[in-house]
Amino acid sequence: MVAVDRKFEFELVSPERLVLSEPVDMAVIPGSEGDFGVLAGHSLVISTLRPGVIEVWQGEVVTNRLFVGGGFAEVTDTRCTVLADEAIPVGEINAAAAHAEYERLRGEFDEADSEDAKRILELRLAVAEAKVAATGKPVH
């Protein structure tokens, strides 16, 4: 059983910078096949991510909520590395801009004619939707 006070190294990197690197107690990660919580001593996993929010726990409180637009997570027993396509603290998301982006993509999606374009827009739409949802005001 994992001791409660054991921390592990959590790292969140986006292509343009190292967003967060600190010892944490728990991280909840939006895996593409469902959210999973990581504690120290976790088994080895490599997973893809879906657009969503990573919660970083120190003790009993969430100290950081970070939006990621997809990516990968590698978990070992002492470390958790998240390679995010886009990473931004939830508090810094501009809710209005995120909403406008969603509406714009929605419009483009409805007008797209080829299957390929639809497929790509669908992915971007999912990211935009998750971003809006992360601000706490869902689109629907």
Partner 1 sequence: MPSLKDLRNSIASVRNMRKITSAMKMVAASKLRRAQEQAQIAQPYAERMAGILSRLSANYVATASSPKLLTGTGKDHVHLLVVVTSDRGLAGGFNSNAVREARRVIRQLLADGKEVELLTVGRKAKDLLRRDQANRLGKTFEGIGSKRVAFSEAEGVANTIVEMYEAGEFDVCTIIYNRFKSVISQVPTATQLIPFALPTGATKAESHEVRPVYEFEPSEDEILAALLPRNFAIQIYGALLDSAAGEQAARMTAMDNASRNAEDLTKKLTLRYNRARQASITKELIEIVSAAEAL
User: Which residues here bind partner 1, judged by CB under 8 A?
Assistant: 11, 13-18, 31-33, 43-48, 72, 74, 76, 81, 83, 85
Nearer to partner 1, 21 or 59 (CB): 21
Residue 43: CB atoms within 10 Å:
8
**CB closer to partner 1, 31 vs 118:** 31
115-134 and 95-111 helices, crossing angle to 10°: 160
Least distance from partner 1 to the Cβ atom of residue 9, Å: 12
Residue 82 or 134: the one with the smaller Cβ distance to partner 1 is 82
Cα distances (angstroms) measured from residue 43 to each of 46, 74, 116, 131: 10, 10, 37, 29
